[in-house]
């Protein structure tokens, strides 16, 4: 009797093909990446439902590391097990890594990066309808009543006045957990001794330093990106502030202008913004530097997702933690909505970009055109607009 194949070959192939395509066409920042993933794995392929997707999204918002990469890993695991986790993360990041290597070589050789402003002009308006569609579908599942609606609205307002992202997620989770479990909480309080303190302790910190030295060693470079990835909360945009502190202010390995150029590369290349690590690594230490910087960026999310993924069903089964997860989920959607507002202000700069966004909305909602095709169309229309 033939032995069964120990690896889920077909699901693995599906994970690899999907996330390679997403990694090659995902522009617009973390909110856009999440929207594209939801369109593919929930609406089209039905690997999971909106509740499961929301739980994964809420969990990635609570842990450090690049959220889009972590979502790719989670979704890869949902489809093809532990091997799918690895394949999903690698496939999603690989196109951006390769493009960043090419751009870094051009940058080092010619002192500049190729102009690609036309690409973003057409792509940015396209991703806004994608994000709105995802928010609408996920919001219908996440908003279960006045409480969760209030948490989501509060998250939007507080984010727009620059409240800490992690604080918003924790407050949203705690509010939902306590209100949904009022009776349990009252029963617990009743049996507690008078005067017994009840508190919540949250602590976060980093205890890593960069060894001083005259050159850029591969080991030191690896540790810098390992540290940055391990403490990066919120979204890929937080990465830029951390890199400025580590590479410009503390070590002096990069100039401010070099960091700005690296950020520009992160914006014009597809895939996660963490591909900036590949570009910077190449600038500082060639191909070996690009490899160790990229590796340092990807190890923490792989470890954290591996450890956290089995806990998600347990969170949902617990009445207390299920309420906490409900609050985190709706707060995360509130943050996503606030980011979308800012993205829309940057995307719609005139009648032409508004027309691109309107066309994308019609093709998405009326004709169900896939996210990847919409992004390609946006890039083409941006190029046409550049020649006007």
Looking at residue 310, its pLDDT comes to 81
Looking at residue 293, its pLDDT comes to 93
State the greatest distance between any 2 C-alpha atoms of the chain, in Å, as a whole number.
75
Looking at residue 184, its pLDDT comes to 57
Q: Which residues contact 232 (CB under 8 A, 6 or more apart)?
A: 64, 65, 66, 238, 239, 242
pTM: 0.63
Residue 327 included in any domain? yes
DSSP 29: -
Q: How many domains does the chain have?
A: 1
Ranges of residues in the chain whose predicted pLDDT is under 70: 1-8, 28-29, 110-120, 165-166, 183-215, 231-242, 260, 263-268, 273, 315-317, 371-372, 386-388
Looking at residue 291, its pLDDT comes to 93
Q: Which residues contact 290 (CB under 8 A, 6 or more apart)?
A: 97, 100, 101, 104, 278, 279, 281, 282
> Per the structure block, which two tokens stand in for 16?
């690899």
Residue 41 included in any domain? yes
User: Do 23 and 93 touch, CB atoms closer than 8 A?
Assistant: yes
Looking at residue 41, its pLDDT comes to 93
Residue 238 included in any domain? yes
Looking at residue 205, its pLDDT comes to 30
What mean pLDDT, rounded, does the chain reach? 77
Nearest to 381 by CA among 356, 358, 359: 356
CA pair distance 271, 101, nearest whole angstrom: 14
Residue 380 included in any domain? no
User: Do 331 and 149 touch, CB atoms closer than 8 A?
Assistant: no
Residue range of the domain that includes 68: 8-110+143-186+215-345
CA pair distance 123, 380, nearest whole angstrom: 9
Residue 25 included in any domain? yes
């Amino acid at each position: 009797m033939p032995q069964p194949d120990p690896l889920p070959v077909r699901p693995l192939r599906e994970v690899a093909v999907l996330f390679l395509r997403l990694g090659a066409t995902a522009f617009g920042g973390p909110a856009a990446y999440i929207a594209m993933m939801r369109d593919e794995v929930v609406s089209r392929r039905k690997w999971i439902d909106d509740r499961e997707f929301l739980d994964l999204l809420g969990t990635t918002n609570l842990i450090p590391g690049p959220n889009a990469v972590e979502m790719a890993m989670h979704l890869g695991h949902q489809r093809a097990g532990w091997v799918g986790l690895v394949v999903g993360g690698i496939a999603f990041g690989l196109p951006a890594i390769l493009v960043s290597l090419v751009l870094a070589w051009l940058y080092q050789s010619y002192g500049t990066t190729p102009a690609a402003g036309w690409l973003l002009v057409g792509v940015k308006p396209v991703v806004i309808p994608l994000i709105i569609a995802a928010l609408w579908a996920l919001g219908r599942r996440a908003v279960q009543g006045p409480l969760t609606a209030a948490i989501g609205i509060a998250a939007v307002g507080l984010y727009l006045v620059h409240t800490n992202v992690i604080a918003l997620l924790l407050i949203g989770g705690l509010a939902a957990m306590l209100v949904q479990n009022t009776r349990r909480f009252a029963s617990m309080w009743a049996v507690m001794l008078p005067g017994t303190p009840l508190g919540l302790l949250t602590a976060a910190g980093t205890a890593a330093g960069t060894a001083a030295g005259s050159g850029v060693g591969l080991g030191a470079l690896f540790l810098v990106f390992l540290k940055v990835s391990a403490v990066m909360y919120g979204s890929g945009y937080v990465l830029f502030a951390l890199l400025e502190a580590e590479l410009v202010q503390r070590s002096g390995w990069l100039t401010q202008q070099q960091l700005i150029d690296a950020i520009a590369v992160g914006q014009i290349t597809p895939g996660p913004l963490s591909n900036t690590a590949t570009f910077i690594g190449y600038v500082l230490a060639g191909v070996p530097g690009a490899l160790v910087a990229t590796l340092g960026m990807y190890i923490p999310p792989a470890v954290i997702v591996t450890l956290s993924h089995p806990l998600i069903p347990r969170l949902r089964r617990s009445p207390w933690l299920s309420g906490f997860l409900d609050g985190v989920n709706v707060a995360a959607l509130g943050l996503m909505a606030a980011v979308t507002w800012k993205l829309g202000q940057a995307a719609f700069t005139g009648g032409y970009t508004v027309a691109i966004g309107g066309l994308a909305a019609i093709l998405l909602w009326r004709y169900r055109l896939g996210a990847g095709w919409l992004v390609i169309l946006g890039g083409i229309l941006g190029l046409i607009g550049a020649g006007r």
